[in-house]
Amino acid sequence: MTRVVTLGEIMLRLSPPGFERLLQSPMLSATFGGAEANVAVSLAHFGLESVYLTCVPAHAVGQAAIGALAREGVRTDFICRRGERLGIYFAEAGASQRPSTVIYDRARSSFSESVAGAFNWAEVFTQARWFHVSGVTPALGPGAAQATAAALRAAKEAGATVSLDLNYRHTLWTEAEAQAAMRPLLAHVDLVIGNEEDLQRVLGLAITGVDIQRVSVEFGPRLVAVTLRESVSASDNGWSAVLWNAQTSTFTESQRYSVRIVDRIGAGDSFAAGLIYGLIAGKSPDAALRFAVAASALKQTIPGDFNRVSVAEVEQLAAGNASGRVQR
C-alpha cells in the first residue's frame, strides 16, 4: 500500500440534531474532525496506507478520537498521547438563508501544546509517498508551526510529494501573520490547494480561478488547485474546481455540481484527498480533478466531517452518473 502522511489537529465536533440551533435540545451529536484528519480518513477509504500524526490527551475523549480514526482505517499508531485537552468545535448546520455557524474551543489543546518534538520524523516518513498538511496546522501556535516546518523538510528529504491546503482561519491568525508564515512554506510544496478567498488572504493574490498560474509563478508549486463554491444559500451550492499544471502549462476546469447540502464541513478536505488519490493513482490531471470534485460533492451529502465513500462510488459519479437512482 502507498503511504500518505498527514499532520494536524483532530477535534471533538459537537452538533445539534437536524436543523436545530445549538443547544436548542439537550442533545449533541459527537463526532470528530479536523482538516488533515478528514483528508486522512478519505485516503484510508480510498485504500491508501493513511498515517495520521497528531497529539491527543491520554483520557477517554482522546482515546475516542483515535478510535474514530482507526474505525475508518487510518493508521493511528504514531499518534502521541500528551497534554490536557482535545480541541472542541461546535458546528450548527444552516439552512436556506441561515448560514452554518462554527464556534471553536480549541485553545490549549494537546496538539498545539505538545506537537513540537512529538515525532521522529525520519521514522514517520520512511516509505512515505506523499505528505499533506493545511494552513490550519501552523496557525495553531509556535510548536505547531515548528512541527509543520519540520515535517515538510522531512517529507522532502524522504522524497515524498507535498501538498498544502491554504485553509485560512481568521480566528487563528491575521492575514499578515498567515502570509508571513505560509509564503515561505510554499517553496517546499508541490501541490497547493485553496479557494479564492484563501488565495487572497494567505497569498495576497487577488485573482479569480482562471489566473491561478500566478500562484505557481510567484510561489513555486507546480500544481495549483482552486475550489469554486457558489453559495446560493446554505442549502444549495454550486461546486467545481480548476487545476493549473505548471509543468505542462495546462489549465483544467472540472465538471460542476449543484449540490443539495447535507453537511458542507470537510468539503475542501475531501477535495484535497480526492486530488491526492487521483494523482497517486496515476490519473491525468483532468481525471484526477474530476475525481476530486466528485468525491467532494459526495462529501457534502454525508453528515460529519469524514467523507465515507469508496473509490468505486466516486468513480461512478465522476463517470457522469449523477442521477441518484437507487443502487440495489
Strand pairing partners for 81? 56
In contact, 110 and 58? CB cutoff 8 Å: no
312 contributes a contact to its own copies by CB under 8 A = no
| Dihedral (Cα; 70, 276, 148, 264), 10-degree rounding | -70
Residue span binding its own copies (CB under 8 A) among the ranges 125-133, 155-163, 254-262, 277-285: 254-262
In contact, 72 and 65? CB cutoff 8 Å: no
- Interface with its own copies in residues 201-230 (CB under 8 A): none
Task: List the Cα angle 283/289/291 in 5-degree steps.
Answer: 75
Q: Of residues 287, 301, 311, 315, which one binds its own copies by CB under 8 A?
A: 301
CB of 101 or CB of 126, closer to its own copies: 101
Per the rule left: phi > 0, alpha: psi between -120 and 50, beta: everything else, 267 is alpha
CB of 27 or CB of 176, closer to its own copies: 27
CB of 219 or CB of 306, closer to its own copies: 306
319 contributes a contact to its own copies by CB under 8 A = no
Total binding residues for its own copies by CB under 8 A?
Answer: 81
CB 63 to its own copies: min, Å:
8
In contact, 65 and 76? CB cutoff 8 Å: no
Sign of CA dihedral 253, 295, 264, 45: negative
92 contributes a contact to its own copies by CB under 8 A = yes
Q: Of residues 47, 94, 143, 220, which one binds its own copies by CB under 8 A?
A: 94
CB 146 to its own copies: min, Å:
23
CB of 30 or CB of 217, closer to its own copies: 30
181 contributes a contact to its own copies by CB under 8 A = no
Q: Which residue is associated with the grid cell 488533515?
A: 36
Q: Which of 144, 139, 197 is nearest to 173 (CA)?
A: 139
- Interface with its own copies in residues 25-54 (CB under 8 A): 25-31
Q: Of residues 18, 117, 142, 184, which one binds its own copies by CB under 8 A?
A: 18
Q: Of residues 236, 238, 250, 319, which one binds its own copies by CB under 8 A?
A: 236
In contact, 237 and 300? CB cutoff 8 Å: yes
Q: Of residues 174, 232, 238, 250, which one binds its own copies by CB under 8 A?
A: 232
d(CA 253, CA 240): 8
